[in-house]
């Protein structure tokens, strides 16, 4: 017996009302898979699932949004966490509106949380040399040098292959793992005789397999792949933070090596186009987030600006004292 399609169509609105917020959330995550990295998707899911719990089987309404925001703000006082949760909620509601799942402009109800600007934390040259000496003889030695000299993320450092290294021209070529969908290639030269050149030559001499598809550090590649599949890559950062603290360098993380590289790039006067080519940055917004020059580089810029002004002003003849 054929189903009554007319009745099915007439009952569509009733069926639509039975779709829960959690199911909409899964649709949203599936929709964003093509534009977000797996880690970002996991963060979005963890953040939005709290809103789905508040809604339950009830429809998404202004009352549900207010209820969630009130509970979330009472439970969490950290500005960064609040901003993360509100940003994801706003994006989710905006998507629901565009898809016609909800009416009105509920996304406009979500407040924009301001995060206090914190001082940029980077590795000073002394701190870099201190930790580098402390990890000599371990995989962290190569990893730290590669990140500091190229700005590569932990994922790219661990998954770097010998085919990414051009020894003839002294250049590191790689497709950043996090932004691989954008097809941006990072191209970063390195100095002959520098610490990156030395550690790469040393590893190549000691390696049994140096064909293009072989990993520079097989141990790091295996460990990262395993922990990434289990969504436990945070263990890398925890371990590195402990190593730095033991060496007397506190308040840093492995990712601060990337920040340090970008800070030096900006201090060196590199443009956005050059920084993008060096690190494979995904957007100008990301560049501005990383580009935090120190006070001395800002002072140097002012000195240069003032010097240009002085050169542009013609020398005036001395004023005569005679009346």
Question: pTM for the complete prediction?
Answer: 0.64
- The tokens describing 41, both together, are 């998707």
| Sign of the alpha-carbon torsion through 175, 177, 179, 180 | positive
| Sign of the alpha-carbon torsion through 272, 276, 279, 281 | positive
CA distance linking residue 224 with residue 261, whole number of Å: 22
Residue spans of the domains in the chain: they are 18-109, 125-300
What distance lies between CA 101 and its chain's CA centroid?
31
Closest among 125, 147, 149 to 254, alpha carbons compared: 147
Average pLDDT, the chain: 85
CA distance linking residue 179 with residue 172, whole number of Å: 17
In 154-269, at which residue ranges do the beta strands (DSSP E only) sit? 165-166, 171-174, 186-189
CA distance linking residue 211 with residue 252, whole number of Å: 35
pLDDT confidence tier of residue 180, bands split at 50, 70 and 90: confident
- Which tens digits make up the pLDDT trace of 226-265? 888 776 767 888 999 999 999 999 989 999 999 899 888 8
CA distance linking residue 142 with residue 195, whole number of Å: 9
Comparing 12 with 158, the larger pLDDT belongs to 158
pLDDT of residue 270: 81
CA distance linking residue 224 with residue 177, whole number of Å: 12
pLDDT confidence tier of residue 12, bands split at 50, 70 and 90: very low
Report in angstroms the alpha-carbon separations of 110 from 53, 70, 91, 223. 17, 11, 10, 40
CA distance linking residue 299 with residue 304, whole number of Å: 9
Question: For residue 9, what is the enclosing H or E element?
Answer: helix 5-10
Contact yes or no for 81/121 (Cβ under 8 A): no
In words, the CATH class of domain 18-109 is: mainly alpha
CA distance linking residue 146 with residue 157, whole number of Å: 7
pLDDT at 213 over 80: yes
- Which tens digits make up the pLDDT trace of 34-45? 888 787 888 999
- Domain spanning 125-300: CATH 1.10.443.10: yes
Report in angstroms the alpha-carbon separations of 206 from 199, 201, 264. 11, 9, 31
pLDDT of residue 17: 54
Q: Is 161 helix (H, G, I), strand (E, B) or coil?
A: strand
Comparing 73 with 116, the larger pLDDT belongs to 73
CA distance linking residue 110 with residue 86, whole number of Å: 6
pLDDT at 150 over 90: yes
CA distance linking residue 253 with residue 242, whole number of Å: 9
Looking at residues 91-99, what average pLDDT do you find?
Answer: 94
Write 54-58 long-range contacts (CB < 8 A, 24+). Answer: 55/20, 55/21, 55/22, 56/20, 56/21, 57/20
pLDDT of residue 267: 79
pLDDT at 307 over 90: no
């Amino acid at each position: 017996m054929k189903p009554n399609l007319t009745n099915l169509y007439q009952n569509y609105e009733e069926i639509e009302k039975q779709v829960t917020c959690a199911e909409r959330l899964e649709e949203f995550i599936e929709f964003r898979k093509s534009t977000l990295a797996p880690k970002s998707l996991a963060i979005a899911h963890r953040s939005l699932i709290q809103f789905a719990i508040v809604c339950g089987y009830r429809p998404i309404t202004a009352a549900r949004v207010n209820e969630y925001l009130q509970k979330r703000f009472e439970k969490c006082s950290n500005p960064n966490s609040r901003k993360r949760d509100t940003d994801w909620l706003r994006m989710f509601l905006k998507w629901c509106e565009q898809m016609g799942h909800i009416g009105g402009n509920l996304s406009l109800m979500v407040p924009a949380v301001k995060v206090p600007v914190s001082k940029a934390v980077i590795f000073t040259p002394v701190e870099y040399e201190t930790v580098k000496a402390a990890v000599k003889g371990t995989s962290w030695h190569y990893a730290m040098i590669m990140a500091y000299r190229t700005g590569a993320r932990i994922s790219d450092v661990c998954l770097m292959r010998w085919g990414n290294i051009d020894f003839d021209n002294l250049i590191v070529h790689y497709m950043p793992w996090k932004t691989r969908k954008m097809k941006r290639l990072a191209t970063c030269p390195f100095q002959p005789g520098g610490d990156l050149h030395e550690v790469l030559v040393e590893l190549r001499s000691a390696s049994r397999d140096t064909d293009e598809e072989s990993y520079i550090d097989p141990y790091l590649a295996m460990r990262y792949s395993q922990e990434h599949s289990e969504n436990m890559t945070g263990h890398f950062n925890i371990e590195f933070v402990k190593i730095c603290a033991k060496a007397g360098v506190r308040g840093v993380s492995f990712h601060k090596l990337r920040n340090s590289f970008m800070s030096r790039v900006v201090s060196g006067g590199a443009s956005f186009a050059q920084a993008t080519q060096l690190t494979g940055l995904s957007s100008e917004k990301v560049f501005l987030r990383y580009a935090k020059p120190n006070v001395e580089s800002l002072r140097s810029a002012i000195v240069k600006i003032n010097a240009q002004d002085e050169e542009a002003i013609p020398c005036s003849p001395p004023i005569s004292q005679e009346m």
